Amino acid sequence: MMKMRKVVSYLFLIVGISSFYGCSRNPVTGKRELILMSKEQEIALGKESHPSVVASMGLYEDQGLQAFINQKGKAMAAISHRPDLPYQFFVVDSPVVNAFAVPGGYVYFTRGIMAHFNNEAEFAGVLGHEIGHITARHSARQQTSQLLGQLGAIAGTIALPEMGEVIQAGVGSLMLSYSRAHETESDEIGVGYSSKIGYDAHEMADFFGTLKKLSDASGQIIPTFQSTHPDPGNRQKKVDALATKYQQENPGTYEVDRNEYLKRIDGIIYGEDPKQGFVENDMFYHPVLKFQFPVPRNWQHQNSPTQFQMAPKNGKAVMIFTLAQGNSLEEAAQATLQGMGLEAKDSQKATINGNPALVVVSRQAPQQQQQGQPQQQQTAQNTVQVATWFIQYAGNIYAIHGMSYVADFDKYAADFKQVAEGFRTLTDRDKLNRQPERIQIKSVQRDGTLQSALEAYKMPSDKMKELEILNGMDLKDPVTRGMMIKTLGR
């Protein structure tokens, strides 16, 4: 009984906090709900987030495409539930197929997703979905729910400590379904918004078919109940039904505009852009900065504008290549170790293929004991050891970090050393002049299938599945003479 009184008292604490902040009316649903983020805070969050997005991905330089998304974005914002926000729209330089929105009106499309749209209506549907996240205040609602969920979990754990794990699991499950609910709500909003500016929302449904194929091809399939986004196949059916319902209730002419869109993306970079660095035959090349270094065989890797990461599949080690800050090798080493919370164990000067270098071996510094918390003993199994090669090259200082737990470090030391000592000047003209793959829009030469049309343009057989998805069709689908399709070229 005493425990129950504790639970009730903590619940009253949560209710008190909720009452203090008060409720507001959701602009989309019209329902009153607790929101702990003001409109001004949403706008400020968007402004603060934008530089980080640009720094991590970069903006894709295509004035025509940028003008197009600005025009459609402003038109849709004007008919949205929150036309007063300072909306901004951007194409970011990433090959990943993605679109996302930040509170306050910031909407981003990757060049990867722009390359996969096959008409303006598909684009408009996703645009409506992303604006829907903003107008329905999903970020603000999620933040509020997470805060109250954490308070509830903390309260429950204090009151019933033996139930802590069960309560935390329940809160996590609630947050997961809440995110899926947001996605489903944004799909419905996207149907309405894209339809209101004159586009056929059935095409939005078809694009979820493309996403389903991409998901299946990548092998990244997870059960619907474990995903924060609903399954693309399920979304395709639901959105198609929503589009049918909307058009039945609002008869009219709804545009697709396939050819107009394909002309807009003719020449867009597809996949990785070599100028940002690329891997070929177990070697990373950077044509702009003119260096190369090896990648251990069978290691996975990921490139971004700020760093290059690679790791064995077992995840027991990682290497990171990045730019170091400092005017000298010693200064860069000191700043890096301090920033990463590392203590130097050994340091020695070296020369790597003619470039001055400093090799530092360090370990994770002991964690400061927090008041009331026992000091965790550092062991070989929980302490990180790092070997860092600071290399001075072409006016910059680069850091190559090899990291693992102390217990495993010796197993990967040779790999770390091979990568670092393989850093050298890139002189191969083929690599220096490597051009990116681009979408090339072609007209079908004669009636047939998509596959026969692609073969007529000498598309390689190992690209057929990729081009099938890129065109939003099946290889056996019929095409007619003069129809526009996507091919790939340099």
pLDDT band (50, 70, 90) for residue 381: confident
Note whether 203 and 256 are within 8 A (CB): yes
Query: Whose structure tokens read 């303006």?
Result: 120
Cα distance between residue 417 and residue 399, in whole Å: 13
What digits encode the pLDDT tens for the residues 151-204? 333 333 333 333 333 333 333 333 333 367 778 888 999 999 999 999 999 999
Q: Are residues 434 and 274 in contact, defined by beta-carbon separation less than 8 angstroms?
A: yes
pLDDT at 36: 52
Q: What percent of the chain has pLDDT over 70?
A: 79
Q: How confident is the model at residue 66 (pLDDT cuts 50, 70, 90)?
A: very high
Sequence-ordered list of residues with C-beta below 8 angstroms from that of 6, at least 6 positions apart, any chain: 158, 159
Per-residue pLDDT tens over the stretch 208-261: 999 989 888 875 433 333 344 556 668 899 999 999 999 999 999 999 999 999
Instruction: Report the candidate in 183, 205, 216, 200 with the shortest Cα–Cα distance to residue 261.
Output: 200
Maximum Cα–Cα distance across the chain: 81
pLDDT over 90 (residue 10): no
Instruction: Give the contacts of 422 (CB within 8 A, at least 6 positions apart).
Output: 292, 293, 294
* Tokens 């003993």 sit on residue: 377
Beta strands in 394-483 (DSSP E): 396-405, 424-425, 438-443, 448-449, 478-479
Give me the pLDDT at residue 347, please. Answer: 96
**Residue type (1 letter), 268:** I
Beta bridge partners of 59: 92
Q: Which of 98-107, 231-240, 378-387 has the least mean pLDDT? A: 231-240
Nearest CA to 227 among 191, 184, 189? 184
| Distance (Å, whole) CA 157 – CA 136 | 32
Q: Which of these, 99, 123, 235, lies nearest to 180 by C-alpha position? A: 235
- The better pLDDT of the pair 470, 25 is held by 470
Residue 250 CA from chain centroid, whole number: 36
Confidence of residue 144 (pLDDT cuts 50, 70, 90): very low
**Count of other CB atoms within 10 angstroms of residue 437:** 16
Residue of 416, 409, 419, 415 whose CA lies nearest to 384? 409
Inter-residue contact 228 to 176 (CB < 8 Å)? yes
Rounded to 5°, the CA angle 277-281-285 comes to 20
Q: Give the span between the Cα atoms of 470 and 207, in whole angstroms.
A: 11
Structure confidence by residue, pLDDT tens digits, 283-341? 999 999 999 999 999 999 988 888 899 999 998 999 999 999 999 999 999 999 999 99
Nearest to 136 by CA among 78, 99, 82: 82
Residue type present at position 425: T
Model pLDDT for residues 393-437, shown as the tens digit of each residue: 999 999 999 999 999 999 999 999 999 999 999 999 999 999 999
Please tell me the pTM assigned to this model: 0.74
Least confident of 23-27, 104-108, 139-143, 373-377: 139-143
Task: Map tokens 């000498």 to a residue.
Answer: 458
Q: How many whole angstroms separate alpha carbon 225 and alpha carbon 231?
A: 9
Calculate mean pLDDT across residues 105-122: 96
Backbone phi, then psi, for 438, in 5-degree steps?
-130, 155
Residue where the block lists tokens 């474990």: 226
Q: Reply yes or no on whether the pLDDT at 470 is more than 80.
A: yes
> What pLDDT does 32 receive?
54
Give domain 283-367+377-427's CATH superfamily: Mog1/PsbP, alpha/beta/alpha sandwich (3.40.1000.10)
Distance from first CA to last CA of the chain, Å, rounded? Answer: 74
Asked whether the predicted pLDDT for residue 19 surpasses 50, the reply is: no
Q: Which two tokens stand for residue 241?
A: 């039904």
Q: What integer pLDDT is reported at residue 15 of this predicted model? A: 34
Q: How many CB atoms lie within 10 A of CB 313?
A: 8
Cβ atoms 130, 106 nearer than 8 A: no
DSSP code, position 258: H
pLDDT of 486 above 50: yes
